[in-house]
Amino acid sequence: MLLLCNKYTIRTFSLHFTTRKVNTLFAHTSILFYMIYLIEFCLINTFKMSSIAAIRKDYKLATLSELEIDKNPIKQFGKWWDEAINCAIDEVNAMTLATATLQGKPSARIVLLKGYDDNGFSFFTNYESHKGIELGANPQASLVFFWKELERQVRIEGITEKLTAKENDTYFLSRPEGSRIGAWASPQSQVIKQREEIEESVKKYTQQFSGNPIDRPAFWGGYRVKPQIIEFWQGRPSRLHDRIQYSLQENGQWKIERLAP
């Protein structure tokens, strides 16, 4: 009886062990096939993504006609600006600012538009930064807005001028406290050994201004780009885009022309 029980136990255990082995083998095989699938999927998509030349989009949202634009480019910008705002574009005021040295060596970066009117387009920065130094030597600059959700660009060329102390102070005082401290703490564009230098500088000025007004540092302020050329670009199918350019004439009037795409 004991032998029969032992035989039954052995057989049951053997069957259980074999079942577990088969299940484990099946699980491992399934995982292997899934990993192979993932690898193939990644390789295919990597190949597709690596083909940069194949990346393209056909623009079809809108058109831009001389019959519908405003004769004043600032007012036309205002129309497009309102439409961009209504589309809830993330950081709609982000724009590329291109500057150059006297020798013509260019550089570019993203800054934020902080105002516009008939006099031009304004932004703020550290006057001792890389762009500040270049603008001090060569005031010519260019701005570009790209609102991909609307398939639009606005390109602006002009001469920069510094904003007044009153304009600078008004905007500076509207900034969050952390941003005002940051303006004092960061020697913008200068080489630093490690991030801790900035963090220590922030602590220093936070303690220094604790309970006191945070005035604007003299090395920080705004620029205004006074436009001489403004181009409005509307994406169209097959790269046959609409491009309307406004050029400021000596008599103060704007000349409107269509450019080939």
Evaluate if residue 113 carries a pLDDT over 50.
yes
Q: What average pLDDT does range 113-140 have in this prediction?
A: 98
pTM of the model: 0.79
pLDDT of residue 39: 72
Catalytic residues: 239
pLDDT of residue 24: 56
d(CA 180, CA 57): 41
| 31 or 162: which leads in pLDDT | 162
Least confident of 8-22, 80-94, 108-122: 8-22
Least confident of 49-58, 170-179, 202-211: 49-58
- Contact, 110 vs 95, CB < 8 A? yes
User: Sorting pLDDT into bands at 50, 70 and 90, what band is 1?
Assistant: very low
- Contact, 139 vs 118, CB < 8 A? no
Domains of the chain, residue spans:
2-54, 73-259
User: Sorting pLDDT into bands at 50, 70 and 90, what band is 17?
Assistant: very low
Give the model confidence (pLDDT) of 70-91 as tens digits. 999 999 999 999 999 999 999 9
> Positive or negative CA dihedral for 253, 258, 260, 261?
positive
Does the domain spanning 73-259 belong to CATH 3.30.420.40? no
Give the model confidence (pLDDT) of 206-238 as tens digits. 999 999 999 999 999 999 999 999 999 999 999
State the Cα angle at 179 between 138 and 158, rounded to 5°: 25
